Structure 1
Amino acid sequence: MSEMSAAYETQLAREQELTEVGDAARTLANKFPLSYWRECDKEEKYPWDFVKAFAEAGWMGIIVPEEYGGMGLGVTEAAVMLREIGASGAGMSGASAIHFYVFPPQPILRHGSEEMKKRVLPGFVRGETLMAFGVTEPTSGVDTSRIRTRAEKKGDRWVINGQKVWSTNAQNATKYLILARTSPRDDKRPLEGMTLFYADLDRKHCDVRVIDKLGRAAVDSNEVFIDGLEVAEENVVGEVGKGFHYLLDGLNPERVVVAMEAIGIGRAALDLAVGYANSRIIFDRPIGKNQAVAHPLAECWMRLEAANAMALRAATLYDNHQSCGAEANTAKFLGAEAGFLACDQAMQTHGGFAYAKEYHIERLWREVRLLRLAPISQEMVCNYISNKVLGLPKSY
């Protein structure tokens, strides 16, 4: 077999593996119908049944090494899994519920002590440990170097005081991964001096207030006011002062996964729109026969496919320990745009019925809109590409 033929066979085998991952994840996700997600959204009810099903099937440990109870697979497989959850109609309510078991613990996996990893990671894999994530603050925005939450060493413990915002899961979580300043900000090295803490979300010291928001009501977002929260030295993640750099390690895989979640949601909306366009008869013909309906849907499909290809490329580079900053950021940008465009066009296809919750489009539209803002805005992606790829002057 020639070298080219061998490479082709390897590529086909890899594509088959990913297809099997996607099919298995989608089969499980499809057990939860659109009506389930409508109810979770309406009642602002955390999708515990969905989480339990994925935990029992072993999916929570998809990128955790086998020695800690996981599957030991890569970001590519995790991204495909989350894409298919979104595509099942679960939207961000389902994708976020699994996402926050899989990715926020990564700093612990990559930088925690061996003792911490053995103690902590199996709980995530089994779906028993739900953790909130505290980085963003209302006064700092995207300038994380200016966070005001402080941790002071007192004896063998750290005491944390401050405020966080947009902490997902804090209504239900028992653990809290917190980024706090452990030394004053230095203008010459502004990203030094911040430390990650794996803390108990102790309600005696953490006032958790839910944020009433546009979408993804099933998965809560919160403000958290921290007053005298104590954390043992053994729950410092990695080295003191290096916490922000540990977060940077997870930025590229997070962008890939968010892109795939948006793509999945876009595919779900597109499927609903195509079904409606084929069945809705106006003037004695299905509305899908009209190019004004058909062509925008075709464009949505092409955009989703292109974004998917870029996301898979970025994930493959990451799993092979190659540079992927440009690809991961591009995937996030294209995925968020394509996902939102598909949901918006699905609303247009349904016309006035899109506003009726029984058609499920408005929920997907509300949820996917978040991904143009978070975890990084489209403007910040453009900043990265213009500076790091094109070599233009930094704008901020």
Structure 2
Amino acid sequence: MRSSTFFTTSVRRALRPSFKSSLGLQSRRSRHARATEFLQCHDPDLTESQRTVRESIAKICENFPDEYWAKQETSKKFPTELYDTLAKDGWLGICMPEQYGGSGLGIAEAAVMMQTISESGGGMTAASSIHMNIFGLEPVAKFGSDEQKERWLVPLIAGKERACFGVTEPNTGLDTLKLQSSATKDGDEYVLSGSKIWISTAQNAQKILILTRTTPLDQVKKPSQGLSLFYTDLTDAVEITEIPKMGRAAVDTNTLFFDGWRVPARDLVGKENEGFKMIMHGMNAERILIGAEALGLGYAALRRAALYAGDRVVFGRPIGKNQAIQHPLADSWMKLESARLMLYHAAKMYDQGYESGEYANAGKYLAAEAAFEACERAVMTHGGMGYAKEYHVERYLREVFIPRIAPVSREMICNYIGERVLGLPKSY
């Protein structure tokens, strides 16, 4: 097992108490930073740790401007440069235990990191390239054996292995408890058969965290029983087919088909038939992080719209002087900030051990909706040029559909709140 000296020095330096953060500057500010600032670090509610993370990630992101992300999309090339830089500086393990090379920080800091990466112009492309590293192996960190943690977490955090996440299936969608893929024990191996869909980064990953049914549905007392979780190698037994899609072309999305895929029994995470309980451990964290990524896109779009509205002169005056332009953008800032405050509150509660999902779900919902509206308004503010790739806002709009759909739909979140918070009967 790695000692704490393996903790990456770049992150340790950034989080030292002596680090010259903007905390002192923030205390002297009498108002919020302008939304037109690039990755401003002075949100008055951030903790010193969150502000330090934002400053450090912002410095990295300065080397990956909008033009880089436009090029990656055109070439459909995975953003290896950003991935490797974040790995080298220790950021891929921001939430992972220090003894395996991680930083041991919370979802509150990780949310700031993901928002900043997205907000830099990288959007969902940049965020999705590392998303799995940030929350995906929470079940392993919590339920895996010491041997498994050493074997799996160390190379993932170091950036030597990439992983993808396999839950959704073509015939079940969000009805996770009805999964049809199966795993049958055969000696010291399991034989997996079935299919998965919407699996991001599978073309570039060496590993997969996959949920399958080890006990048939008709043989369990509750549908949540009989599911098992594996973290294993993606081998030639898995047929991976990329799905052409609307946006985020640099990060692949795939359908997986497997039949007779032999997986070592030692790659089972925790106990057999208890996989659903383990996978749920990371669901609230994922909702918070997806929401933060959506916020980043919203703020990036709002920044570009405000700058353009201040510069673009029509009929002898900047278009931003017209309330028909100014008021919708002001409205978007208020909605983005409202969503951010709720989302970061959810992150704080998660780090303190709160397990219920109403705040994580609600924060994700509000962030996705506010970001979508901000991206749409940014395109409309640019007028015809908003439809041109030159100004990047059309790319933001295409990507911002993702957090509205995944990892859970708006409608399912409303179902959750209706049932769990309002006490209404289950509607589905």
TM-score by length of 2: 0.88
Cα 1:360–1:14 change in 2 (3 A) is closer
Which of 382, 387, 390 pairs up with 2:419?
387
Consecutive unaligned residues in structure 1, runs of 5 or more:
1-8
Number of the residue aligned with 1:190: 223
Number of the residue aligned with 2:370: 338
Amino acid at match of 1:319: D
Paired residues of 1:113 and 1:238 also in contact (CA < 8 A) = yes
CA distance in 1, matches of 2:76, 2:136: 22
Amino acid at match of 2:346: A
Which of 404, 411, 414 pairs up with 1:372?
404
State the secondary structure of the residue aligned to 1:214. Answer: coil
Amino acid at match of 1:125: I
Number of the residue aligned with 1:27: 59
Which of 155, 168, 181 pairs up with 1:149?
181
1:351 aligns with 2:383: yes
Amino acid at match of 1:243: G
CA distance in 1, matches of 2:296, 2:279: 25
Number of the residue aligned with 2:18: none
Paired residues of 1:317 and 1:324 also in contact (CA < 8 A) = no
CA distance in 2, matches of 1:364, 1:395: 34
Q: How far 1:127 moved relative to its partner? A: 1.0
1:252 aligns with 2:302: no
1:69 aligns with 2:110: no
Number of the residue aligned with 2:146: 114
CA distance in 2, matches of 1:78, 1:256: 9
Amino acid at match of 1:206: V
Which of 27, 32, 39 pairs up with 2:71?
39
Which of 240, 246, 257 pairs up with 1:208?
240
Consecutive unaligned residues in structure 2, runs of 5 or more:
1-26, 28-43
CA distance in 2, matches of 1:280, 1:324: 47
State the secondary structure of the residue aligned to 1:167. Answer: strand
Q: How far 1:295 moved relative to its partner? A: 0.3
Number of the residue aligned with 2:39: none
Identity between Structure 1 and Structure 2 (%): 47
Single out whichever of 100-109 and 359-368 deviates more from structure 2.
Answer: 100-109
Cα 1:284–1:13 change in 2 (3 A) is closer
Number of the residue aligned with 2:17: none
Q: How far 1:14 moved relative to its partner? A: 6.4
Q: How far 1:323 moved relative to its partner? A: 4.0
Paired residues of 1:160 and 1:230 also in contact (CA < 8 A) = yes
Q: How far 1:322 moved relative to its partner? A: 2.2
Amino acid at match of 1:310: M
Number of the residue aligned with 1:312: 344
Amino acid at match of 2:412: M
Q: How far 1:42 moved relative to its partner? A: 1.1
Q: Deviations over 1:350-385 (max 9, x none)?
A: 011111101100111111111111000000000000
Residues 203-282 of structure 1 mapped to structure 2, 5 A cutoff = 203=236, 205-282=237-314
TM-score by length of 1: 0.95
Q: Deviations over 1:221-276 (max 9, x none)?
A: 00011121111111100110011111111111111111111001100000010110
State the secondary structure of the residue aligned to 1:337. Answer: helix
Q: How far 1:177 moved relative to its partner? A: 1.4
Amino acid at match of 1:178: I
Aligned residues: 385
1:131 aligns with 2:163: yes
CA distance in 2, matches of 1:124, 1:290: 51
Provide runs of 4+ in structure 1 moved above 4 Å: none
1:285 aligns with 2:285: no
Paired residues of 1:198 and 1:231 also in contact (CA < 8 A) = no
Which of 72, 75, 96 pairs up with 2:128?
96
Amino acid at match of 1:189: K
Q: Deviations over 1:64-93 (max 9, x none)?
A: 111111111001000100000011000000
Q: Deviations over 1:108-158 (max 9, x none)?
A: 111111110011101111111111211100001111111111111111111
CA distance in 1, matches of 2:289, 2:126: 14
**Aligned-residue CA RMSD (Å):** 1.3
